[in-house]
Chain A
Amino acid sequence: MIKISNLTKVYRTGAISVTALKGINLEVAKGSMVAIMGPSGSGKSTMMNILGCLDRATSGSYIIDGVDVSTLQEKELAKIRNHKIGFVFQTFNLLPRLTALKNVELPMIYAGIPSKERRERALKALDKVGLADRIHHRPNELSGGQRQRVAIARALVNNPAIILADEPTGNLDTRSGEEIMDIFQQLNQEEGVTIIIVTHEREIADHTRRIVHFRDGVIIKDEEVLTPISARTTLAALPPAGEV
């Protein structure tokens, strides 16, 4: 479903130019769950932004469901971001003045969904991430883990085929991180959502079946994980929240 060939990205800031991606080739099958690892500055975020249609590649091709993204206009890119992709950021990127519910409704507003249905679907999505009792809270009234769960609810509310998560557990404690991974695993296994997660933690990456290693803008290793960690099991072994 995702096919990247010879992708490069060059950032030009004044006289200096940085080549963040140097010819990436990658295929991600529908319904798979993939981790991307690599040291800081190796081009992971750059890659994710291009996959999320937030940024354009300098050269090479990116084909999603048979459509070459480089040929698309801004309007169509917005539509892909809205319908096909759910983005989860390291820093959550919730709108601070809106409640959890309103934040989750946002993508549906741009999808033109009527307000009654929007509310229903947002409630369902928040329930799915275990926040049914926090719908009227604003981001600053929620913990980091809860904020990230709101962000995930927002990412999945338009039923995207792909969820892209750039270091989603980077700002979270172990338990919250595990909870996030649990949600991703459930989404992947039960609903067949394709999930791509950037992380620099091996333990997180080990929740997936495949780890792609980046360094200096190239893929250096494509690794298969034979026995992925189940977040469910790990969580059951951890002491309950509040006692850590």
Chain B
Amino acid sequence: MDILESIKVALEGIWVNKLRSALTMLGIIIGVAAVIAVVTIGQGGRAAILSSLESMGTNLFVVYPSSRNATTPITRQDLITLEDVEAIKNIVPTVKAVAPTSYLSIMTQVGRQKEKTTIICTGQDYKSIRNLELVEGRYFTSEENNSRRRVAVINEELAKTYFSGESALGKQVYLMNTPFIVIGVVKNDPSNALGFGGDPPKEATIPFHTGETLFRNLRIQIEGQTYSKEEVQETIDQIVKLLHKRHRNEGKYRGYSLDQEVATANKILGIIALIIGSIAGISLLVGGIGVMNIMLVSVTERTREIGIRMALGARRRDILVQFLIEAVVICLVGGTIGTILGTGGALAVALIAKWPPLITPGTIFIAFFFSASIGIFFGIYPANKAAKLDPIEALRYE
């Protein structure tokens, strides 16, 4: 008997036991769907996070006061000053741009509408450091910063909230009851896409010196950019050393680079994907055991059929192949349905989370390969049991 006939016989076997075959498939469908969904969502999320991190430029660095490595807490003397920032700009040669930056969260107001907004007080170089793109208008200048002008550059999200559709340029936004003129709108910072879906945060950027007049004791962190990615770590070290020297303290400053962040994120995301993938894999394993279970029942139930087939000239190999193919076909059909469901689910998640939908042919191939392997792995034992039956005893089976 050739393989094509075996497949036909197996398909007939599946068809005459429709309900049982469908229930067996269910385990495989769920398992494969889970694996595909998890792997695809994982890959998509990872790609989204990494690309948004990298879009900010991997030569970005941040230095800020931290007591993590210090024996005493941070005091006023340890805070970074504008003079420190100037000194860094002048002394550290690898620094391309640097901006003293403070983040605050307050309520802003336009007319009667109030919105919780992140206020970024920073220098005019922040735009280039963060790789921000203007949608309309312009960024503030160093003159506007030095003369403490009440101008603001808001992000698209805030512009949409307050001025839906209209141009925001020239409009007034109130911060701490002080009117600010909107002079520019920037695209939402991609680094905020790190959040799982949801709306991007509302942001307004104002010149640092203007911010000083509005808020007391701004805690500065240094955001900067080197000329190349390779210089980042060395630059951070130099800045930290310089700050310690200027403040005559120890272990009070820390820095991190985006490059480092990307590497760490990549590693963590990889581990998470592996863990969740393994859990999904277990459900596939359970599905496979289900197949074996049903196949064993099926072999017992069809003992007489096996006996009849043997009496009519089926070799042990024919019986083995018949049951094996039944298991593989059940797994492959289940795998196909599972792949479709899993892919659909992953696409839906990608759509909601605004991630790139990452469905690689590799994933689908692996799903198929796994389904077939599970069919063979969990089918071989029942099939072998069927093939080992003694013809006369199988015929006598009631």
Contacts and interface: CB of A to CB of B under 8 A. Distances in A.
A109 B12 CA distance: 13
Q: Which residue, of A54, A75, A87, A154, has the highest number of chain B Cβ atoms within 10 A?
A: A54
A49 B392 contact: yes
Interface string B1-25: 1100100010010001000000000
Contacts of B16: 97
Given A55-B392, A109-B5, A112-B2, A87 B311 contact: yes
Interface string B382-398: 00000000011001000
A24 interface: no
Interface of B: 1-2, 5, 9, 12, 16, 304-305, 307-318, 391-392, 395
Nearest to A106: B312
Interface of A: 49, 52, 54-55, 74-75, 78-79, 81-83, 87, 89, 93-95, 97-98, 106-107, 109-112, 154, 158
A111 B310 CA distance: 12
Contact of A83 (B304, B313, B392): B313
A106 B1 CA distance: 11
A93 B315 contact: no
Task: Tell me what chain B mostly uses at the interface: helix, strand, loop, or mixed.
Answer: helix
A98 B309 CA distance: 13
B311 A75 contact: no
Given A54-B310, A75-B316, A83-B313, 12 more contacts: A49-B392, A54-B311, A78-B316, A79-B313, A81-B311, A81-B313, A93-B307, A93-B395, A109-B1, A110-B313, A112-B2, A158-B313
B312 A81 contact: yes
Contacts of A75: 315-317
B308 A93 contact: yes
B391 A54 contact: yes
Contacts, number: 62
19 contacts: A52-B311, A54-B391, A54-B392, A55-B391, A74-B315, A74-B316, A75-B317, A78-B315, A81-B312, A83-B313, A93-B395, A98-B12, A107-B312, A107-B313, A110-B312, A110-B315, A111-B313, A112-B5, A154-B312
Nearest to A87: B311
A87 B391 CA distance: 13
Contact of A82 (B304, B313, B391): B313
Contacts of B391: 54-55
A94 B308 CA distance: 8
A106 B317 CA distance: 16
Contacts of A93: 304, 307-308, 311, 395
A54 B312 contact: no
Contacts of A83: 313
Nearest to A49: B392
Contacts of B12: 98
A110 B318 contact: yes
A76 to B, nearest CB: 10
Contact of B310 (A78, A79, A98): A78
Contacts of B311: 52, 54, 81, 87, 93
Nearest to A92: B308
Contacts of A49: 392
Contacts of B313: 78-79, 81-83, 107, 110-111, 158
A49 B394 CA distance: 13
A82 B392 contact: no
